[in-house]
Structure 1
Amino acid sequence: MSERGGLRFPWPAPPDDGTPREVAPGVLWIRLPLEMVTDHVNVWALDDGAGWTLVDTGLDTPGAHAALGRALATPRMAGKPVTRVIATHHHPDHVGQVARFAAAGAELWTTRSAWLNARMLHLDARDGICPETEVFWRRAGMAEDQLARLAAHSAESLWRHVGPLPPSYRRIAAGDEIVAGGRRWHVATGHGHAPEHAVLFSLDDDLVIGGDQMLPSISANIGVLASEPEADPIGEWLDSLHAMAALAEERHLVLPGHGLVYRGLPLRLEQMIARRRSGLDRLRGLLGAGVRTVPECFPALYRRPITDELFTLALSEAVAHLNHLARLGQARRDTGADGLWRWSAV
């Protein structure tokens, strides 16, 4: 057991990619590689007796495919098929391999928003970016040379590594009770990082499958996209964290979408709320000192320089914070003759 930032980690190091580790009876931790800023994703295998339920699947890339194949071929898992996939949310690194399991007969269980968003975004997969995203990035302050460099590596391109989700699925929703891995699970849903993100609270022991709603160290990206430029995901995220806090207990063992398994969920939710509120306070102070473009707001929100690798995530998240201040009546956005958004305090 190690401790960091008030959280407790029963396993100080993760399992090797594709090597299952049992974290509770009938529950296996499988780590898959990602070729992204975040270099891995966690998949949870729940033993249903005749087969396995997988919670999330990783991207459909050669590395992730091979690592998950190695896990399924181990003595601990061999001989039983994957009969169900539960997707916590629609992001590519969580639903990328759903299609191949569905083709082999596995049933997909997920929220309606996750299924609809994944289906829509897969149909819109492309090289480069759509015109709406290009306009959004320019208005938010992305320079022309940056836009040319980053267009080919956008999240829209990432959907090329996701197989098509099946045309039918089993819907799960907040308040549902489902059975998997010999346990009954209460379904809660969060918003902000992804609409209707499913979190599973075991009713029979201390497990919580938290997805990206309950990461142990990094905070999930909370960003505004070109499809909904006036959205307030920060407000949705804060509301969700407060709702999850009503369910969180010190005894809970959290199985997150990335990072290490941990205990200390009530504290972790408090930390995530405090982090967002602190960022909003700093941003208010910066706007009070003068008019700013979105990239000029980065120093109030981020402690390190923002490189190309992180720029689109940082841009979308900065817009999210600014939109939230605007929703509170504490900031305003004006569009200049050059088409650029400039923000000021109210």
Structure 2
Amino acid sequence: MADLDANGAQLRDGLRYPWPQPPASGEVCEVAPGVLWLRMPLPFRLDHINLYLLQHEAGWVVVDTGMNTAQTFAVWEQVFSQVFDGRPVLAVICTHFHSDHAGVAGWLSERFQCPLYMTAGEFQWLHVQVPAAPAPPWAFTDFYQKAGFSAVQAGEFFAAVQNKHFRPLPCTGFRRLRQGSQLTIGGRCWQVLIGNGHSPEHACLYSAADGLLISGDQVLPRITSTVGVQATEPQANPLRDWLDSIERLRAVPDSVLVLPSHERPFFNLHQRLDQLVAHHQGHLARMLANCTEPRSALELMAVLFPTLSGRFDELMALGETLAHANYLMAEGTLVREERGGLLRYRRAPTGAKAPDPQQVF
């Protein structure tokens, strides 16, 4: 059982949670004047996403939107009538392109004829979709077979990502957010802080005057943000990008109230940053320790993620495994070799140099 401080906040694993319980699914809770926390349901084991509703003049600004599901539309209709009381959505802000964050951004923008704000990188990736086809393209199958999966299993992965829930509704235009952009909403100034690694140009919103950080998926309590390599960019090094982003976030005061996209709002940002770095350092050390002999990505995935359920979990776990492998290769501590169409990884010989970043193959 978690402890409580003198103010009734819950203390757990070095973090302080002002709200011991989240609002019920589809309900809202005020976390600061003019800032509402909406718990939007998701059809997965991670069964929710936190959206934030910012009051502005005679309407509202929405931060993230939920996934493209019938349940999402139903909750929004409830919010429009019971929370917004007929007042319009004046703008939609998406922290990043993932389907639970931007799934119905286009619908909201069109319905209220209001602008959509995103970074350029996220807007572009919003339109990069796995093609709808009866069979996966060769690059998709090649990616998973080189990791150790069969062609049949690759086809099952392809079917999993074809689910319409993962396809955000189309957005025809946007207004660009950049590092340091400032948005004045309801008399409160929010500064845009860009993070990388979980997604290309993830936008966090920071109010210095009020000590608030809408962190999206860049910083989460209890669970860790997915940092993965996908078939669309198999040589990417997202873990390097993500760790660099974590260091930049240390410039934000530890005293802020962090408003994440999953779990509950919390205090002690820097403690959580330390925990997240330690988590990935542990994965890196475990991977190296298991690469004294050549190992496939599938074998290494079993080391880092011994308990998985279903193809979607395997998709996420493989992406994370390859992110750690690519990071270690870039550091020069792991090398990769291909034999018979299978990639294997082993510890680099002592004194080996990191690979040339300009190498094509």
TM-score, normalised by the number of residues in structure 1: 0.93
Distance 1:2 1:38 in 2: 21
Contact 1:53/1:181, CA 8 A, preserved across alignment: no
Residues 15 and 312 from structure 1, CA distance in 2 versus in 1: closer, same or farther, beyond 3 angstroms?
Answer: same
Q: How much does 1:306 deviate?
A: 5.5
Give the equivalent residue in structure 2 for 1:63.
71
Q: How big is each residue's C-alpha offset from its partner over 1:138-175, in whole Å with a ceiling of 9 and x where there is no partner?
A: 11112344334332112x54566411012x21101001
**Residue 43 of structure 1: aligned partner:** 51
Which residues in structure 2 correspond to 1:112-261 (within 5 Å)? 112-121=120-129, 124=131, 129-154=136-161, 156-158=162-164, 161-166=167-172, 168-247=173-252, 249-261=253-265
1:203: how far off?
2.5
Separation in 1 of the partners of 2:132 and 2:105? Answer: 16
Give, as a single letter, the amino acid of the residue that structure 1 aligns with 2:219: M
Q: Deviations over 1:16-41 (max 9, x none)?
A: 12211111110001111111342111
Question: Is the contact between residue 18 and residue 31 of structure 1 (CA under 8 Å) also seen in structure 2?
Answer: yes
1:52 aligns with 2:60: yes
Out of 98, 105, 118, the residue aligned to residue 98 of structure 1 is: 105
Matched residue SS, 1:278: helix
Q: 1:271 matched to which residue of 2?
A: 275
Unpaired runs of 5+ residues, structure 1, are none
| TM-score, reference length from structure 2 | 0.89
Report Cα offsets for 1:113-138 as digits up to 9, x if no partner: 0111102338x456664432221111
Q: For 1:332, which of 319, 322, 335 is the aligned residue?
A: 335
- Residue 84 of structure 2: which of 77, 84, 95 is its match? 77
- The answer to whether 1:292 aligns with 2:268 is no
Structure-1 separation of matches of 2:268 and 2:134: 42
Call closer, same or farther: CA 1:259–1:159 in 2, change over 3 Å. same
Q: Give every structure 1 segment of 4 or more consecutive aligned residues whose post-TM-superposition deviation is greater than 6 Å.
A: none
| 1:5 aligns with one of 9, 13, 16 | 13
CA distance in 2 between counterparts of 1:332 and 1:158 reads 38
2:351 paired residue number = none
From the superposition, tell whether residues 340 and 147 of structure 1 become closer, same or farther in structure 2 (CA, over 3 Å).
Answer: same
Greater helix share, structure number: 1
**SS of residue in 1 equivalent to 2:67:** coil
Preserved contact between residue 52 and residue 84 of structure 1 (Cα < 8 Å): yes
Is the 8 Å Cα contact of residues 129 and 157 (structure 1) preserved in structure 2? no
Offset of 1:265 from its aligned partner? 0.5
Q: CA RMSD in A?
A: 1.7
Quote the offset at 1:336 in angstroms. 1.1
The answer on whether the counterparts of 2:178 and 2:192 sit within 8 Å (CA) in structure 1 is yes
Residue aligned with 1:162, SS: coil
Are 2:140 and 2:154, in contact at CA under 8 Å, matched by a contact in 1? no
Matched residues in 1 for 2:133 and 2:90: separation? 31
Does the CA contact (< 8 Å) of 2:129 and 2:167 recur in 1? no
Deviations along 1:166-194, whole A, 9 cap, x unmatched? 2x211010011111233101111010000
TM superposition shift of 1:299: 4.1
What is the match of residue 346 of structure 2? 344
Q: How many residues align?
A: 339
Question: Could you say what secondary structure the match of 2:244 adopts?
Answer: helix
Contact 1:211 / 1:255 at 8 angstroms: preserved in 2? yes
* Structure 1 residue 301: Cα displacement: 2.0
Contact 1:127/1:157 (<8 A) preserved: no
Matched to 2:66, the amino acid is: G
Q: Is the 8 A contact 1:128 1:157 kept in 2?
A: no
Match of 2:284 among 280, 290, 294: 280
Q: Which moved more, 1:113-122 or 1:194-203?
A: 113-122
Gap regions ≥5 residues in structure 2 = 1-8, 349-361
